[in-house]
Amino acid sequence: MNKTHTSHIIYQVLAGAAALLLNLLFPDFIHEVRFWVLAIVIIVIGMPHGALDHVIAFKAFRRAKNTRNQLIFYISYLSIMAIYGVLWFLSPLTGLILFLLMTLYHFGQADAERFSLEGFAKHILLYSRGLTIVGLILFGSDPFYSSVVIEEVTGFSFSDQLFGVMEPYIFTLTFALTYPVMFLLVSLLKSPELLRSWFTADALVVSLLFSFGEPIFVFSVYFGCWHAFNHTKTMLNYLNKFGMNVSFKWFYKNTFLYSVLSYAGLIVLYFALQAFGNADLLVALLFILISVLTLPHMFVVEKMYGNFNPE
């Protein structure tokens, strides 16, 4: 069973609270710097945290790191990316739905590993956490903006389809309450001590952040301070189980080349879209790129979680 960790949760809660306060006090400033914040997060930890897959894979799949196995890994990895990229091209709406389901599971999985729970209780927290985050990405503080971004790529406007039937705030409130309510119930039934921990504040801060903050800004804060950081710590702990004695310094050194290649792709995408002057399309294509990178990453991570309990 995993140990409940709180070594970083205090800093995450404080960072989230500070981000929310800044957003409420200086909304115009946050709107101006939101893409810079996203860029910094992607550069500092977003891309690097996914660039450890080639190291994790050989430990998770228990394979020798020889030329043949490396070739198999890279061909398989790139093939998954290519197939998913083709799916986006052929059916953007299907690609989007798959991305949302992936994100729901992947974000929830990374955060749920912090709890000393197993089985059904852990899965309740995993899926409810993921549902709150994905639901509020779509229906948070500015659901009409999210709808515009999605429509740029898929041609589907969920604001036209849904908001005539139900007011946007009902969606926001429903998703905002999903994880806090499930956290309360699971804690009462399985682990009452959680209610006296910083995880209670975490459950509230994440929901409030996505409900009231500028969408791009709050996604950046969550992605960097919560998901990518927690996930990187888990992967480093996993490698340390094999006696590798790795650290964040090692992490950045060993992901540098792969990250630079990813940065180069993002730069090309940015300047290509600048010619069209469409910021919404840029955001949409950025999330498509993230989704294509995430799918093979999830396969590696799933195998890692399958044979290791991060401590």
pLDDT in tens, 71-86: 888 899 999 999 998 9
Most confident of 75-79, 237-241, 266-270: 75-79
Give mean pLDDT, residues 189-196: 88
Look at residue 77 and tell me if it is in a domain.
yes
DSSP 192: G
Res. 130 pLDDT band, cuts 50 70 90: very high
pLDDT at 167: 87
Look at residue 28 and tell me if it is in a domain.
yes
pLDDT at 86: 92
Total residue count of the chain as it appears in this document = 311
Look at residue 311 and tell me if it is in a domain.
no
Look at residue 3 and tell me if it is in a domain.
no
pLDDT at 276: 57
For residues 166 and 86, the model is more confident at 86
Alpha helices by DSSP H, listed for the chain, are: 9-25, 27-41, 47-50, 53-60, 67-90, 92-112, 119-139, 143-154, 158-162, 168-190, 198-212, 215-222, 229-240, 248-274, 279-306
Is pLDDT of 174 > 50?
Answer: yes
Give mean pLDDT, residues 218-245: 88
**Annotation-wise, does 106 bind a ligand?**
yes
Please state, rounded to an integer, the average pLDDT across all residues of the chain.
85
Is pLDDT of 136 > 90?
Answer: yes
pLDDT at 307: 72
pTM of the model: 0.85
Look at residue 131 and tell me if it is in a domain.
yes
**Annotation-wise, does 31 bind a ligand?**
no
Question: Environment class of residue 36 by beta-carbon count within 10 Å: exposed (0-12), middle (13-18) or buried (19+)?
Answer: exposed
Is pLDDT of 268 > 50?
Answer: yes
Residues of the domain holding 56 = 9-306
Alpha helices by DSSP H, listed for 119-167, are: 119-139, 143-154, 158-162
Tens of pLDDT, residue by residue over 15-69, are: 999 999 999 999 999 999 988 898 888 888 888 887 888 888 888 777 777 788 8
Round to whole Å and give the CA distance between 201 and 283.
30
Angstrom distances, CA of residue 94 to CA of 85, 97, 98, 172, 310: 11, 5, 6, 23, 33
Helices 53-60 and 229-240: crossing angle, nearest 10°?
A: 40
**Annotation-wise, does 231 bind a ligand?**
yes
Residue with tokens 């975490």: 202
Specify the number of domains making up the chain: 1
Give mean pLDDT, residues 95-109: 91
**Annotation-wise, does 297 bind a ligand?**
no
